[in-house]
Structure 1
Amino acid sequence: MNFIISRRKFMHSALTVITAAALAAAAAPVWAQDRVSTTGNPAMTLNLTQEWDKIFPQSNRVDHQKVQFKNRYGITLAADLYLPKNRGNRKLPAIAVSGPFGAVKEQSSGLYAQTMAERGFITLAFDPSYTGESGGEPRNVASPDINTEDFSAAVDFLTTLSSVDAGRIGIIGICGWGGMALNAAAMDTRIKASVIATMYDMSRVMANGYNDSVTPEQRYQTRVQLNAQRTEDARSGTIAPSTNNLPEKLTGSEPKFVQDYFNFYKTPRGFHPRSVNSNGAWTATTPLSFMNMPLLSYTAEIRNPVLMVHGENAHSRYFGEDAFKKLTGNNKELLIIPGASHVDLYDNEAGKIPFDKFEQFFKANLK
């Protein structure tokens, strides 16, 4: 999660707006030869990196394939599909994974996906619209609506795979994409179980600041500033980047959570060149839609199981706890990880990600 809640941006990328989707070539192994119907020009597909470029080692216990699929807005999403080896011909439960906010599938979501595939699930780690290897222009912009839709598009894709039991699909959302995942669970009844890890409510933090410290007058002035930036962008024909991002160097005076982000995104531990937080910036005007369109308005209506997970020492803990309070029913659970910070749940360097609990939760609820 980028610690900035005000002006964000990024530079135009060479990616072209995508209008069609395709899976791997026909030469793919038999296990990978599920297909999705496509329309438009087959040549206009994403050119995905095929070599292993994740921040974690490749497992010899899963099969892996790069795939792509379209969301409801016609944006083609890039993803990594992980399948357990020696799975036979059984239809398996599946899990779609994304996050954190500003990360790519080669970072935390890929680690979560590969680990859960080792435990018997078909998993899909995807880059959200406008980021990573996924399509969409301009680059490095986020949307509460479109990025919620991205989770449902991932579910769409999983339902088309012959190896997936379409009635047993869950999701995992990490950090800012935890909020998108919970929003998707409120909308998409096909999502049978959800894990929400180290969650940020992006609309809340962008509108109200950390710990809801922003006043209505301050919020109004932010809108004035951001809309003035829109005017500048329209006149220049370019999209301005945010000037408030993770620092290139630490001085030691930064808040602890900023230092934690830096030590993940800006060091060999978690750096990835396609990650917004590692090597870029959000668009300056990204906060506008989040400020005006609150997420989590209908979480009380989620009927399927939800497991909320947060670190005991996470600065973001109140997002998860407050979201949990809105959930109803007796199939919701809040798990606080002792001694864990927000970023401890990104890569398991501190051994804090409760994968055993995730496995237990999904096996109990995707059956």
Structure 2
Amino acid sequence: MKKKPIIKGGLHLLIVMVLAVLVSTNTVSSATTGSPAAISLAWDKTFPKNNKVTVEKVSYTNRLGINIVADMYLPKNMNRAKKSSAIIVGPPFTGVKEQTAGLYAQEMAARGFVTLAFDPSYTGESGGQPRNIASPDTFAEDFSAAVDFLGTRSFVDRNRIGVIGVCASGGFAVSAAQIDPRLKAIATVSMYDMGRATREGLGLAVTPNDVMTKEEQIKALEEAAEQRWIDFESGQIKYGGGTAVELKPSAEAAVREFSEYYGTPRGYHPRSLPYSLTSRGALVNFYPFEHIDTISPRPILFIAGENAHSRYYSEDAYKLAAEPKELYIVPGAGHVDLYDRMEYIPFNKLESFFKANLK
């Protein structure tokens, strides 16, 4: 029997919860900036615990002085006297470490790596004010901060640190790798270019005619800019998408797919919240593939589902990247299938990629 969404308010509210600053047909009411979530030591993940792994809650600051809270996963009974390779895992847009990123981190730790799944700045248990805003440059910095932390652990070889970016974190990880050569191997899964998605809209692989027009892009930016005055005067932030441009049919299809994860017990987590409407401007100005060729000679692995609405992001990035590079298509998989469907996620491929390139 198919589970019904647990988020109240139907598809419109779900859109803003899942897609945050992207164009939507409804909005979330204003809220105060709030504080980071209280740090929990309980197992509050959306996936079961693996007994082959131990997990430690850790925290550290990024270059901007923001406190980052992360879960570090270690192979059980690992020898801390020896230096191991490590992998950083970034979550999908608005996601937290207790969801997809944690699942990937735990599984890769079970395969012998030290791994780290973190809450991005302004999100979940991590610090930063105001809460739940999107800042691509800060999100890229969060990956470098994770390298800072892992590379100073006595049991990690700082010359063998890689990264997995899932969905939006794929774009942020690629952006970080262009400026941080300490990331030695880069893998993306169901990658999203959040700059292009914000400028053009979602779900365009199947329906190119649904790309936002220049006039629609301007209307959306004007709405976000106008909201800055409202937020400034009220001291409160409006979260979610705007009403200036209606959601296109292909984007609605993408939202329904996201809802199968975020809107049901499968992936819902109370700390995974929408980003602010005024974040749109920062995202529109984000071009993560502009210098992707400079990552070479470090290797990049792009993983996408055969049926993913987002597949074209990985295909376009692959074309722009320099060797060594690989595009791996998962047969029968959609975009969100690679968030948590163990029968689809190619962990064997990820394991072989990192063992070959972090040695």
Q: Write out per-residue CA displacement over residues 34-70 of structure 1, whole angstroms, 9 at most, x where no aligned residue.
A: xxxxxxxxxxxx8520011001111111121000111
For these two proteins, the number of residue pairs brought into alignment is 326
Question: How far apart are residue 338 of structure 1 and its match?
Answer: 0.7
Q: Single out whichever of 170-179 and 259-268 deviates more from structure 2.
A: 259-268
Question: How far apart are residue 237 of structure 1 and its match?
Answer: 1.5
Is the Cα contact below 8 Å between 1:159 and 1:166 reproduced in 2? yes
TM-score between the two structures when normalised by the length of structure 1:
0.84
1:63 and 2:61 equivalent?
no
Equivalent of 1:73, from 46, 64, 68? 64
Task: Report the counterpart of residue 292 of structure 1 in structure 2.
Answer: 285
Within 5 A, what are the aligned runs for 1:46-61? 47-61=38-52
Equivalent of 1:6, from 23, 26, 34? 23
Task: Report the counterpart of residue 15 of structure 1 in structure 2.
Answer: 35
Paired letter, 2:119? D
1:362 and 2:333 equivalent?
no
Task: Report the counterpart of residue 322 of structure 2 in structure 1.
Answer: 328
Task: Report the counterpart of residue 261 of structure 2 in structure 1.
Answer: 264
SS of match in other structure, 1:285: helix
- Aligned counterparts of 2:281 and 2:151: Cα–Cα separation in 1: 33
SS of match in other structure, 1:333: strand
- Aligned counterparts of 2:240 and 2:254: Cα–Cα separation in 1: 19
Question: How far apart are residue 218 of structure 1 and its match?
Answer: 1.9
Is the Cα contact below 8 Å between 1:6 and 1:287 reproduced in 2? no
Within 5 A, what are the aligned runs for 1:339-358? 339-349=332-342, 351-358=343-350
SS of match in other structure, 2:277: coil
- Aligned counterparts of 2:86 and 2:38: Cα–Cα separation in 1: 25
Question: How far apart are residue 122 of structure 1 and its match?
Answer: 0.2
Paired letter, 2:293? A
Paired letter, 1:2? V
Which consecutive residues of structure 2, in runs of 5 or more, have no partner in the other structure? 1-16, 244-249
1:175 and 2:178 equivalent?
no
- Aligned counterparts of 1:172 and 1:295: Cα–Cα separation in 2: 15
Paired letter, 2:142? D
Task: Report the counterpart of residue 309 of structure 1 in structure 2.
Answer: 303
Equivalent of 2:75, from 84, 105, 124? 84
Is the Cα contact below 8 Å between 2:66 and 2:121 reproduced in 1? yes
1:235 and 2:236 equivalent?
no
Question: How far apart are residue 103 of structure 1 and its match?
Answer: 1.0
Distance 1:314 1:165, change over 3 A: same
Task: Report the counterpart of residue 154 of structure 1 in structure 2.
Answer: 146
Paired letter, 1:176? A
Q: Write out per-residue CA displacement over residues 81-111 of structure 1, whole angstroms, 9 at most, x where no aligned residue.
A: 0111222221100001111111110000000
Question: How far apart are residue 13 of structure 1 and its match?
Answer: 5.1
Q: Write out per-residue CA displacement over residues 311-363 of structure 1, whole angstroms, 9 at most, x where no aligned residue.
A: 0101111111111111012x2100010110000000125x1000000000000
Within 5 A, what are the aligned runs for 1:74-153? 74-88=65-79, 89-153=81-145
Task: Report the counterpart of residue 177 of structure 2 in structure 1.
Answer: 185
Tell me the C-alpha RMSD between the 2 structures: 2.1
SS of match in other structure, 2:326: strand
Is the Cα contact below 8 Å between 2:261 and 2:267 reproduced in 1? yes
Q: Percent identity?
A: 49
Q: Write out per-residue CA displacement over residues 99-155 of structure 1, whole angstroms, 9 at most, x where no aligned residue.
A: 111111000000000000000000000000011111111111111100011001001
- Aligned counterparts of 2:125 and 2:90: Cα–Cα separation in 1: 13
Question: How far apart are residue 74 of structure 1 and its match?
Answer: 0.7
Q: Single out whichever of 143-152 and 292-301 deviates more from structure 2.
A: 292-301
Is the Cα contact below 8 Å between 1:144 and 1:295 reproduced in 2? no
Question: How far apart are residue 256 of structure 1 and its match?
Answer: 3.5
Distance 1:254 1:164, change over 3 A: closer
Paired letter, 2:336? V
SS of match in other structure, 2:159: strand
- Aligned counterparts of 1:194 and 1:116: Cα–Cα separation in 2: 14
Is the Cα contact below 8 Å between 1:204 and 1:291 reproduced in 2? yes
Is the Cα contact below 8 Å between 1:11 and 1:139 reproduced in 2? no
TM-score between the two structures when normalised by the length of structure 2:
0.86
Paired letter, 1:259? R
Paired letter, 2:18? N
Is the Cα contact below 8 Å between 1:76 and 1:136 reproduced in 2? yes
- Aligned counterparts of 1:66 and 1:129: Cα–Cα separation in 2: 16
Is the Cα contact below 8 Å between 2:34 and 2:130 reproduced in 1? no
Task: Report the counterpart of residue 25 of structure 1 in structure 2.
Answer: none
- Aligned counterparts of 2:148 and 2:345: Cα–Cα separation in 1: 27
